[in-house]
Amino acid sequence: MYKNLSHPYLVTMIVTLFLIIVTIYISLTNGTFDMSIKDIIRTLFRVDSNTEYDLVIFDFRLPRIIIAGLVGLGLGIAGAVIQGVTRNGLADSGILGVNAGAGAAIVIFMFFFQGQVTSTGWFSIMALPFFGLVGGLIAALLIYIFSWKDGTLDVGRLLLTGIAIGSAFSAFSLYLSLKMKASDFEMATVWISGSIYDANWKYIVSMLPWLLILIPIIKKKAYLLDLFQLEETSIKSLGVSVEKEKSLLLLSSIGLISACVSVSGSIGFIGLMSPHIAKRLVGIQHNYVLPVCGAIGALLVIVSDFIGKTVFAPAELPVGIVISIIGVPYFLYLLVKAKN
């Protein structure tokens, strides 16, 4: 597949994975309770069991790092799919309102099951991704309907429609959260802003099957994302069922987004930034772009979460806000670039 070890894809993946490992090491060893690498190794390999170290690593830091990585992986890949299908470099699950739709459905679930949505309840944890999927699909369907013009998807309308529908869903989520009990309102508010502070192993179990099923499906269809950059008549002449394949890819990406949103809340801009960075590094072939998008997305979320929990300690800044601080200027840069 690769002619030599200097292939841009291999170099990029090796460097990105190395940076992820370094970031994980820093996240594990630094915080309110500092630990050495020796302590980490002895705890992970059960050389010398220590109750305090077990609590810090297995209950607080490691689940949080893993969820941050998985969320970044899912959102990065989903962003590449959405941009590829819509042929719009400014498309992103957060900007298009899919995140907000998934989030609104989950807030509805929280509202009707007040007091029962906890980090230890299997029912709520496993049900959240399904509610998120329904909300994401409704948002995507509304965007699709309002962006449809003369038998084709109007890319120009897509962004504006997504922003409008996303704003409506976000406003509805905020309104509904104000009707909740005080404890549930606090949980919903933190969750809406995009946070993984309450990470645990059950959340990992709830989202992992979605990623294990949907990412291979998307990877197998990567060549179609390359074809979708051509004119639709040219794609059809190759025997590709365009609408069917687009629907499958969009459904898979919405499933990924819903699984991520269900455990982390609405984190935007990862799906916007990751594809652009990946394409600059490895080119436009989606067979290479998708894995790099996932790795870059994981790196961005892990780094942002570490910044959010340490820079303002003992207070904590939600990871969604940290990413927005980075993502908004990047989005404006892309808008300016698109005009030129």
Per-residue model confidence as pLDDT tens digits over 69-127: 999 999 999 999 999 988 888 888 887 888 889 889 888 888 887 665 555 566 777 77
Residue 134 confidence (pLDDT) = 87
Average pLDDT for 204-223? 93
Structural domain span for residue 182: 8-339
3 domain residue, yes or no: no
2 domain residue, yes or no: no
**Is 267 in a helix, a strand, or coil?**
coil
Residue 95 confidence (pLDDT) = 78
Mean pLDDT of the chain: 85
Average pLDDT for 296-306? 95
DSSP state of 268: -
More confident residue, 178 or 219: 219
DSSP state of 181: -
Number of other residues whose CB lies within 10 A of the CB of residue 16: 20
1 domain residue, yes or no: no
154 domain residue, yes or no: yes
Which helix (H) or strand (E) segment holds residue 307: the answer is helix 286-310
Of the listed ranges 24-33, 34-43, 108-117, 169-178, the least confidently predicted one is: 108-117
208 domain residue, yes or no: yes
List 148's β-bridge partners, or say none.
Answer: 153
pLDDT confidence tier of residue 295, bands split at 50, 70 and 90:
very high
Number of other residues whose CB lies within 10 A of the CB of residue 203: 23
Q: Identify the CA nearest to 132 among candidates 262, 249, 271, 270.
A: 262
pLDDT confidence tier of residue 44, bands split at 50, 70 and 90:
confident
Residue 117 confidence (pLDDT) = 57
Dihedral of alpha carbons 102, 105, 109, 115, sign: positive
> Tokens 């997305």 appear where?
297
Who contacts 168 (Cβ-Cβ below 8 Å, separation ≥6)?
97, 100
For position 209, which CATH number holds? 1.10.3470.10
Contact present, 197 and 64 (Cβ < 8 Å): yes
| Digit-coded pLDDT (tens) for 123-141 | 777 777 888 888 888 998 8
281 domain residue, yes or no: yes
Of the listed ranges 112-126, 138-152, 305-319, the least confidently predicted one is: 112-126
Domain count along the chain: 1
Which amino acid, residue 43? T
Return d(Cα 296, Cα 13) in angstroms, integer: 9
| This prediction's pTM | 0.90
For the residues of 32-99, what is the DSSP string, one character each?
A: SS---HHHHHHHHTTSS--HHHHIIIIIIIHHHHHHHHHHHHHHHHHHHHHHHHHT-TT--TTTTTHH
